[in-house]
């Protein structure tokens, strides 16, 4: 299975929806696409929606952590949402929840960033 990436802008926030598998086969492409979109405009915050992400390995963790550092460097925040149970467990074991928020859905994520619809 491969990975589908959908990116939508909402004010200063980039919403990235991932579906499929984020692993060593797809990580570099996702990293490049996200970095290009963040650099292209006035993107300050990032919402990463993992609702349809079925699998993630350590390469995926690297993508998430790297985008977190990039957004933080720009003075913004990153929020994860719609995380399924297996991916949640991996994120929890990695300790990422200690540095970034996880919320139930995209609306809650935008509210967390104070850019609600």
pTM value is 0.93
Per-residue confidence (pLDDT) for residue 41, from 0 to 100? 73
Over residues 46-78, the pLDDT tens digits come to 999 999 999 999 999 999 999 999 999 999 999
Domains defined along the chain, listed by start: 3-112 (3.30.750.24)
Report, as ranges of residue numbers, the positions in the chain whose pLDDT lies below 70: 1, 115-117
- Provide the β-strand partners of residue 13: 10, 45
């Amino acid at each position: 299975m491969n990975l589908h990436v959908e990116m939508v802008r909402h004010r200063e926030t980039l919403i990235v929806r991932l579906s499929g598998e984020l692993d060593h086969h797809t990580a570099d492409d996702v990293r490049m696409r996200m970095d290009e979109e963040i650099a292209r405009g006035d993107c300050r915050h990032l919402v990463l929606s993992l609702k349809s992400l079925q699998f993630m390995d350590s390469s995926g963790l690297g993508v998430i952590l790297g985008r977190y550092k990039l957004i933080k460097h720009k003075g913004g925040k990153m929020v994860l949402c719609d995380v399924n149970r297996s991916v949640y467990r991996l994120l929890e074991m990695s300790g990422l929840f200690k540095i970034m928020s996880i919320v139930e859905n995209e609306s809650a994520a935008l509210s967390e960033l104070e850019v609600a619809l």
